[in-house]
Structure 1
Amino acid sequence: MTSLPFEQRLYPVRERLMRYAFALTRDRDEARDLFQETMVRAMSAGDVPAADPAFRAWLFKIIRNLWIDRSRSHARRVRLYDQFANGEAGEAGEATTERNYAVREAFAFLSVEHQEVLALVDIAGFSYEETGELLSIPRGTVMSRVSRARQSLFQLLSGDAVVPLSRPRRSL
């Protein structure tokens, strides 16, 4: 078992981890975020491999798994947004109305966090608990985000913020 502090064990492998994170994300900022999240996960782990080769492999596995989780989460958000934007969240064959269009437009102005929770809770029908598990956040955070998101959506759709669309006239 090694008695070196975590930071000293990390030093020889950190550049390789950063390059790997960049190769996965193809974006410097995303790579830095992924690296930082990996460090947080690794430093808070209770069972750190003692041997250096196992330690290196363990770190690379953490970074890879976090990247996979992020990719899946991003794909889920894109899929939910596309379904909502294309009207697939409602019943099949439902005609798109001006009101639906206004709601979709207002939804697009919400933050990603607010879009995410509303899509899961109000559109997909997940409970607060299920949404919290999907997003890896506490139930109370889901509840407050949903509340703030609904309030923001209401403000966007009320009063002078809503401008009725004029229907194009058909020419004969």
Structure 2
Amino acid sequence: MWRDGRKSTRNARLEREWTRLFRYACALTRDRERAGDAAQEAALRVLSAKSEPADDVAYRRWLYCILRNLLVDQSRRQAREAGGEAPEPIDWRVAERALNAITVRQALEQLPLAMKEVVVLVDLDGFSYAEAAAIIGVPTGTVMSRLARARAAMLAIIGETNIRMLPQRHVAAR
């Protein structure tokens, strides 16, 4: 058993990364419930590990690798069992910011998994190219080329959308 200080430090580190870890799981699974389950399982593995990287950057990379490997194993198991995935719920608020987020999210969902993964790691979660490459297990140049192709594909997808914001009318105060 750990001394209380070590356990609370480990919990605090995991809590700091939880939101980003869950977002990464959502991006890979397209299912919030499955993503939550996978993130919880990854958290159990992290908390039960005998040791963890001391450096914060290495810790984040280690944490994401645990989650990614867990999801890869689950996907392989699902493929063998021929199970299907439920569609991810969509946020339909109409504010400009929400509409832009929906548009980008839909574009991201249309990307192949390999491209989507690098967008999430680099653009959303702030990993460097080298860190993302280490998590995925590919060369840094592969991450860079996938990211460039993914960004170009997303711009093309967004450019094809027929959703346009209407000009806002300002109502005079009465």
- TM-score class, shorter: 0.3 to 0.5
Higher relative contact order (CA 8 A, sep 6+): 2
TM-score if structure 2 supplies the norm length?
0.42
TM-score if structure 1 supplies the norm length?
0.43
